[in-house]
Amino acid sequence: MLRSTVAALALAASFSATAQDYPTHAVKVIVPYGVGGPADIYGRFLAAKLQDALGQPFVVEDHPGGGAIVGSDMVAKSKPDGYTLLMMSNTHTVNETLIPKKPFQLMRDFEPITGVNSSDLLMVINPSVPAKNLKEFIALAKAKPGTLNYASSGPGTPYHMAGELFKAMAGVDIVHVPHKGSDQARTAVLGGQVQMMFDAITTMAGQARAGKVRALGTTGKKRSSVMPDVPTIDEAGVPGYEATIWLGMMAPKGTPRPVLEKLNAAVNKIIDSPDVKQAWAKQGAVPMGMSIDEFDKFLRADIVKWAKVVKLSGAKQD
């Protein structure tokens, strides 16, 4: 009994020292999406702020592919020491149902750190599409079933699920065209190769203002302060429609709790600062910092929520 108590105390002291010293060298932040998307943009923002706060480099690496599976699996297989972190989103909670045969399971192979932010999506079409508003687009899709396409950054991503939910609720047949990353999907819509896309308002609002795409609706419960002249999809013709994108951070399973707590405190302090809140509000992003346990509960509830949406929409992995 004495030996086990001493061993437990030694282990606790070791973890405490680990958290106190952490980090002692560079930390990798894996973004399992393409360059230029919300996870990449906010991942780099947080990395720079964490570097200032914790005194060591936080280096972002983009590893897109497979609807976030490629990069996420790299993190799942990494040493659980706090030096490889995952920038993740509701793609991960969707894929627990949409792609059950993955090399990892979210709540089995990762540790929650905290939520980062959430934002509405913006439904846009290429200006060549002969529809000036959402009702006209729905009428066009119903008149020509299976001929219009929508782009996404891959299976299970918020852009994919927003499209499938829209198809189910609007009663239209539009073909999903998955891409390796949101940058490629965005480029396809801007270039007219694909007619439509749901994209994060934080990354697509500027293109809409410049007239490079036509905004048909936002996906929140109320109009976005970033584009107040654009109606919600709910008010524009699909009652009850709602879809958002959120971002969070996780670490490999087994990462010491004190290290997770240190990261949680650092990220939450950053995103709770008035300057960050003000800057993000202009972009349409809302901070969603939580404790580790709160984020754990949030993730589990989101898995259940998206399981219902996957069933409702009939979405499948392409």
Q: Kindly list the averaged pLDDT for each block of 10 residues, start to end, along the chain of length 318.
A: 55 59 97 92 98 98 92 98 97 94 96 97 98 98 97 91 94 94 93 97 95 97 94 96 96 98 98 97 94 98 92 78
Architecture of domain 120-236: 3-Layer(aba) Sandwich (3.40)
- The predicted structure's pLDDT at residue 300: 98
Q: Helices (DSSP H) in the chain: which residue ranges? A: 2-21, 38-54, 69-76, 90-98, 106-109, 134-143, 158-170, 182-190, 201-209, 233-236, 257-271, 274-283, 292-313
Task: Determine the pLDDT at residue 66.
Answer: 84
**pTM of the predicted structure, to 2 decimals:** 0.87
**Angle, CA of 47, 245 and 39, to the nearest 5°:** 25
pLDDT for residue 165: 92
Q: Hey, where are the domains in the chain?
A: 2-119+246-313, 120-236
What's the confidence (pLDDT) of residue 3? 58
pLDDT value for 4 = 55
Q: Quick one: pLDDT at residue 120?
A: 95
2-119+246-313 is classed in which CATH architecture? Answer: 3-Layer(aba) Sandwich (3.40)
